[in-house]
Amino acid sequence: MIKFCINKYDKFRVYTYFCSMATLEKVILGIDPGTNILGYGVIKLRGNKAKMEAMGVIDLRKCKDVYLKLGRIHERVLGIIEAFKPDEMAIEAPFFGKNVQSMLKLGRAQGVAIAAAISRDVPIHEYAPLKIKQAITGNGQASKEQVASMLQRMLHIPDESMLPFYDATDALGAAYCHFLQSGRPETTDKLPHSWAAFVKQNASRVH
């Protein structure tokens, strides 16, 4: 039988290594692209726990020039990247609908946001809306309201921090979806595994 001898120094190094792994921090930026309202959400990971750092929207409805809008998206996304220093960015892929013009505009907004991340060497991950909804609620056809409610529950977001724009929670969902791809989160209480389970546990909060 082979025995391994570890001296005090090695034990300290091993202990330090596992402690650093347990407290490893990562920031993920989520983006929900749009040319009228672009949503963003930031989550911080500490070990395998996630916490919302920020979420908001870039409101471009008053800007009528399409190219000026794209310039502002690039500028504002860069500002968000500079402020939160994300390690990775998760972005929602354009939804393929019948309106070609809308798809083109959405694709441009997505491309500009991606370009901003590339310019700061931030790795990019793209997720289809169905994939995000499935990851968050267990239902790929879930509504935006259902996604928002599940995220509020999972990330323990107080009511006063929730925004009237689902663009923000959609972006937060993209970030959280990416987090889930690398492993299941550790929670302090048992979370519902689907929208139906969430409704059962929180009947008074869902109308």
Kindly name the residue from 25, 32, 75, 145 that is annotated as catalytic.
32
Selected catalytic residue, list 167, 170, 186, 189: 167
Give CA–CA dist 54/133, Å, rounded: 20
Indicate if 92 belongs to the active site: yes
DSSP conformation letters of the chain: -------HHHHHHHHHHHHHHHT-EEEEEEEE--SSEEEEEEEEEETTEEEEEEEEEEE-TT---HHHHHHHHHHHHHHHHHHH--SEEEEEPPP--S-HHHHHHHHHHHHHHHHHHHHTT--EEEE-HHHHHHHHHS-TT--HHHHHHHHHHHTT--GGG--S-HHHHHHHHHHHHHHHHT-PPP-SSPPPSSHHHHHHHTGGG--
Catalytic residue of the set 92, 126, 160, 189: 92
Q: In angstroms, rounded to a whole number, what is the distance separating the alpha carbons of residues 22 and 47?
A: 5
Is the CB of residue 70 less than 8 Å from the CB of residue 77? no
- As annotated, the active-site residues are 32, 92, 167
